[in-house]
Amino acid sequence: MAIPGLYRFVQETIKNQVASLYLWPRTLEIPVLDASIVAKKPVGILHVKVVRALKLLKMDILGSSDPYVKLNLTEDKLPTKQTTVKMNKLNPEWNEKFRLIVKDPQTQALELQLYDWDKVGRHDKLGMQLVPLKVLTPGATKEFVLDLVKNTNINDPQNKKRRGQVIVELAFVPFKSESSKHNGTSNGYGKSESGKSLESDESLSGAGVLSILIQGAEDVEGEHHSNPYALLCFRGEVKKTKMIRKSRNPLWNEDFQFMLDEPPLHDKIRIELKSKSRALIRAKESLGYVEINLADVVHNGRINEKFHLIDSHNGRIHAELSWTKA
């Protein structure tokens, strides 16, 4: 899989370094690639069903607990998902389903944290457990009965204390490869060899992941300051990049995902650049925005462009958008 922006980055580096050799006695510097440039792309979805827990610790005065489960994937910065709270239960049943985006099934693990909900103060931790994704057979559902521990330190004597069990069902479903998205080979006229229009193909239905890679921006300048960051607005959800101080050509290389039940054929995503200052007066100002029709992303699978910003003189934002069917 090609890494977005990497080829251009390498070519520009080679060109600049070769040119510098003609200016003696300047030295040749070999830059180290930032880890964000080679960020991993989603490869599938982990389906999680939190079934129940058994014989949990008694944390309340009345000899019970109010348990709930938090779950997330390691090596991931996405928000943690959470079950409902079951009041006064030591053997709660949830049967709640979740979907998590997987980027590396060989190194990532599902982390489960059980807590006792408290109306006042900190929620007490009941126990936790990890399930490495590499133990899963792609496409197959497997049930796990997990003994809860305090932490991942196997030498901690408190891990010998019985904390109960949690039962989950897991299934890792890899994304379909590009070659299998269509039934038959395209003949160049928008139809497969079977004569079926690609517009009505099953590849344009079903769940998937919308990925947005904000690579950088060019020639952005605020009226009062230029400390740019990008905001992504989609279906009421807002995500943002880190802020780059005093830059008209910021580089982010930050990746964001939205898991959807259907392709966003009738949606737009808004990407707005803003500048933020520590000063109380004029603390924030807009540097421009763009709205992108996602139908083009779904039909093409991937779009990698520099978009001209509205309400900006010369500003452009470099973004890659892709739709991956589950």
The pLDDT tens digits for 110-130 are 999 999 999 877 899 999 999
Q: Which CATH architecture has domain 44-174?
A: Sandwich (2.60)
pLDDT at 281: 73
Comparing C-alpha atoms, which of 305, 304, 303 is closest to residue 316? Answer: 305
Tokens of 128: 């936790």
Helices vs. strands in the chain: H and E counts, helices first: 2, 16
Provide the pLDDT for residue 206.
84
Q: Mean pLDDT across the stretch 22-29?
A: 45
> Model pTM greater than 0.95?
no
The helix (H) or strand (E) run that includes residue 222 is none
Q: Average of pLDDT values for 64-70?
A: 95
The domains of the chain are located at 44-174, 203-326
Interacting residues of 218 by C-beta distance below 8 A, sequence separation 6+: 248, 249, 306, 314, 315, 316, 317, 318
CB atoms within 10 A of CB 277: 16
Of 183, 242, 175, the closest CA to residue 211 belongs to 175
Residue 163 contacts residue 127 (beta carbons within 8 Å): yes
Average pLDDT value for residue range 295-299: 94
Q: What is the pLDDT of residue 153?
A: 87
Fold for 203-326, please state it: Immunoglobulin-like (2.60.40)
Which residue, 136, 140, 268, is CA-closest to 212?
268
The tens digit of pLDDT for each residue in 212-241 reads: 999 999 999 998 899 999 999 999 999 999
Q: How confident is the model at residue 30 (pLDDT cuts 50, 70, 90)?
A: very low
